[in-house]
Amino acid sequence: MKSENPKPNNKLPFDFLKLWSMTLPLIISVGVMGFLGHLLDEAIHFNFPLFTLLGIFAGLGVAVYQILRTLNKK
């Protein structure tokens, strides 16, 4: 009599490299834009980190755009 137990499906919905390719732009864009904003704040001598925050939010926007573009590829 044959065993009725099916083989386990080890295939994940996303593989590690695809997830890493979506995470890397997030880390890089937020880090670079935040750092550039920090340098600009230091150069202008602002007491409030305005350009740092703007850089972080701009980096997040770029990263979300890249992630959505990656997910919509077929």
Classify residue 3: in a domain, yes or no: no
Classify residue 41: in a domain, yes or no: yes
C-alpha–C-alpha distance, residues 52 and 44, integer Å: 12
Classify residue 22: in a domain, yes or no: yes
pLDDT of residue 10: 59
Segment among 1-5, 20-24, 40-44, 48-52 with least mean pLDDT: 1-5
Classify residue 61: in a domain, yes or no: yes
Output 65 or 1, whichever has higher pLDDT: 65
Residue bearing tokens 């919905």: 13
Convert the pLDDT of each residue in 4-35 to its tens digit. 666 555 565 557 777 777 788 788 889 999 99
As to burial, measured by CB atoms within 10 angstroms (0-12 exposed, 13-18 middle, 19+ buried), residue 37 is buried
pLDDT at 1 over 80: no
